[in-house]
Structure 1
Amino acid sequence: MIMYRYNYILFNSYDNKLKIDRNGYYTICAQELETSPSIRVVSYPLDIYPYWIRLLFAIHHSEKIARYIKLPFKKLWYPYYFKNDFEEKKPFCFVILNRFLPIEYLSYLKKMYPDCRIVLLHRDLLRICKRLNPELSQNPILDLEMTYDKGEAQLYGMPYFNEFESSIDILKEKKMESDVFFAGKAKDRLPQLMEAYKVFTKNGLKCNFYLVGVPINEQKELPGVKYASCFMSYKEMLYHTVNTRCVLEVNQGGSNGYTSRFLESVIYGKKLITNNLAIKESKYYFPDKIMIVNKMSDIDPLFVTKGGDFVNYNYEDDFSPFKVISRIEEELSKKYGKY
């Protein structure tokens, strides 16, 4: 068991404001941390309390209500955001992934626990955090701020961390359900996705494309293409990932870090076709396992069918959420000393 200098409280991004969603993306990503006696994962404030209390909290903090009236006394909830039931008495380190925590709450934490550290982790580009919560990013109350994006790390002089995801058990069928799997918002990627679809199907490959947010007038009935208004659960998406021969990723650009599709491919042993050039820097990049293309017409369909249904990346738990906690310890030690 790893020994940490701090007791960690991780305020995770939430999949659902009223219940812990065990099939949700953020819950699954942090799942491994729940085994550590030095770490508490808070899926959303007050997540350990009965439903009716959580409901009252959600109503009191409703963004819709706030448009018409600013409800008072929200600070009365602060002592109940998490439960301090650590066996070992150590300083607290609050790790913030939830971009919507109010600055006033962080001030409360500093007042209640003067020797605590507050760390903000960016799993998205900084401009998005600044848009959603302008007060949070680069606020002096933060003891450390880290980003998953190497480009932004250099631009802002900010420490970098690898994206993380817990490895969980997913059912593997005896027969692959598809040759290529893609799931995500279409946005401005639709032409690229359709171009990739043509390359695959023209060469006899079976696609499983789950496209979210495609306008009705742009939806074409095609075998293996499903249009939806919302995402499937993350656990269901992992099921389709494990039971395909190859994962397709089409980045929109603007980021320079490892993505969930890359992590999933490495963790679960799947081939990957992507336009994410940053992957070339990874020790897990092998041309026979990952194909990087500039445009979809560059795809070699034979890449999908070569070899077996699973590939071995010799994965060494580099994307475990425990690695992020170790990075935080490392950076805090650099900044404030070991003891």
Structure 2
Amino acid sequence: MHFIRYTGQIKNKIDRHGYFQYKDNIVEVISAPWDRYNNVIMRNVCHAHLSSSLNSKIDIPFKNIWYDCILGKVDKQEKLCLLVNAHLYTLVNENFISFLRAKYKNCYIVLYFSDTYKYFCKNYRGFPSIAFLKSKLDFVLTYNVVDAKQYDLKLMRPAFPNYSSVKDNYDIVESDFFFVGQNKGRLNDLIKIYETCKKRNLVCDFYITGVNPDDFKYPEIIHYNTTLTYEEVLERVKKTKCVVNIVQSNTQGITMRDYEALGNGKMLLTNNYYLESMDFFNPRQVVWIDNLENEIDKMFNNLPKETVDISSYNEEGFYIWLNGIISNK
């Protein structure tokens, strides 16, 4: 099987971006289709043409001129599995699907949600219906147990990225707690966490986007509406003791912040109780937000010597799992 995965993490330079093989399988992981181009002009033109943000406002014609190039070198006789993050949903239009089915006789097309279905419907005008996606694609995957049950989608197997290539950035000050993400109703909880930490002179490195300037509190310390590249996110994870993850209501599943904390051997402050159902859950590495006041004074005094064992949930394991469900289709 030849897997091509578009992660949709446009600003990402290192996470899940590369090429590896296991057994007779090839895996290519690419941030976005336009990253196939080394030429900056071609990359920018392709980006503009295929951009979900632009195409959600106006359906730009003639996207088919990019189809051959963005797939790279795949033999027509190979079994191909294309995985597309829902942020790049404009790729899975009927023309591209027809192109793939005609060119590759053994082709499987998969869309996966890295956020809730409602999030994509809200942020992308004309986002396809679940009925359309399920009728046109081979699989629709989601990390979210709630969406999996509500829309009868396939729940993704957890897969921890390999963070070994994250460099040490000595310009970043070490912190006790790190948060990065959109507001999405989390602001009050994050302010409470900050105030709890401030009383104990603990260092918070918080980046919150999507916040109305009228709601800024402690702007001299908390970074509002400042975006980070994913490379810097991981560098800041590496420089903190504890990653903060506040999951949205009506969601259950393993999120990127969980992967980043546990995959880098950090403490995790969260309300994601779904973690308790996973066999890699280590209660010594996780502190529940509701219990922060009781735990904060001792949570860094007894850091776990052994972090969670995630070896069976590596990326190769994810593709073995995906290959299995394809074989059983």
- For the superposition of Structure 1 and Structure 2, which TM-score range results when normalised by the shorter chain? 0.7 to 0.9
Q: 2:29 is matched with which residue?
A: 41
8 Å CA contact retained: 2:19, 2:26: no
Question: 2:254, 2:42 → 1: CA distance?
Answer: 38
Q: 1:94 to 1:300 in 2, by over 3 A?
A: same
1:127-206 matches, within 5 Å, as 127-130=118-121, 132=124, 133-134=127-128, 138-164=133-159, 165-171=161-167, 177-206=174-203
Superposed displacement of residue 51, structure 1 = 2.6
Amino acid at match of 1:179: D
Q: 1:226 is matched with which residue?
A: 222
Query: What is the root-mean-square deviation in Å for CA atoms of aligned residues?
Result: 3.1
Aligned partner of 2:89 among 88, 91, 99:
99
Moved more, 283-292 or 314-323: 314-323
1:59-70 matches, within 5 Å, as 59-61=48-50
Q: 1:280 to 1:113 in 2, by over 3 A?
A: same
Amino acid at match of 1:142: L
Unaligned runs of 5+ in 1: 1-5
Aligned partner of 2:43 among 47, 54, 72:
54
8 Å CA contact retained: 1:186, 1:212: yes
Q: 1:270 is matched with which residue?
A: 266
Q: Secondary structure at the match of 2:28?
A: strand
Amino acid at match of 2:41: W
Q: 1:95 to 1:186 in 2, by over 3 A?
A: closer
Moved more, 227-236 or 156-165: 156-165
CA-to-aligned-CA distance 1:259-307 (integer Å, 9 cap, x gap)? 11211111111111111111111223222211124x4765521243222
Q: 1:313 to 1:112 in 2, by over 3 A?
A: same
Question: 2:162, 2:318 → 1: CA distance?
Answer: 12
1:208-223 matches, within 5 Å, as 208-221=205-218
Q: 1:184 to 1:296 in 2, by over 3 A?
A: farther
Q: 2:78 is matched with which residue?
A: 90
Amino acid at match of 2:176: D
Amino acid at match of 2:162: S
Amino acid at match of 1:181: F
Q: Which has the larger radius of gyration?
A: 1
Is 1:119–2:110 an aligned residue pair? Answer: yes
Moved more, 278-287 or 69-78: 69-78
TM, length-normalised to structure 1: 0.80
CA-to-aligned-CA distance 1:135-180 (integer Å, 9 cap, x gap)? 5753422112222122322333332213433323334589982222
Superposed displacement of residue 114, structure 1 = 2.5
Amino acid at match of 1:57: C
CA-to-aligned-CA distance 1:3-32 (integer Å, 9 cap, x gap)? xxx11222331415xxxx415xxxx1x23x
Unaligned runs of 5+ in 2: none
Q: Secondary structure at the match of 2:274?
A: helix
Question: 2:13, 2:250 → 1: CA distance?
Answer: 30
Superposed displacement of residue 326, structure 1 = 1.5
Amino acid at match of 1:82: L
Q: 1:89 to 1:288 in 2, by over 3 A?
A: same
TM, length-normalised to structure 2: 0.82
Q: 1:316 is matched with which residue?
A: 310
8 Å CA contact retained: 1:248, 1:273: yes
Moved more, 259-268 or 155-164: 155-164
Q: Secondary structure at the match of 1:95?
A: strand
Q: 1:333 is matched with which residue?
A: 327
Superposed displacement of residue 40, structure 1 = 2.5
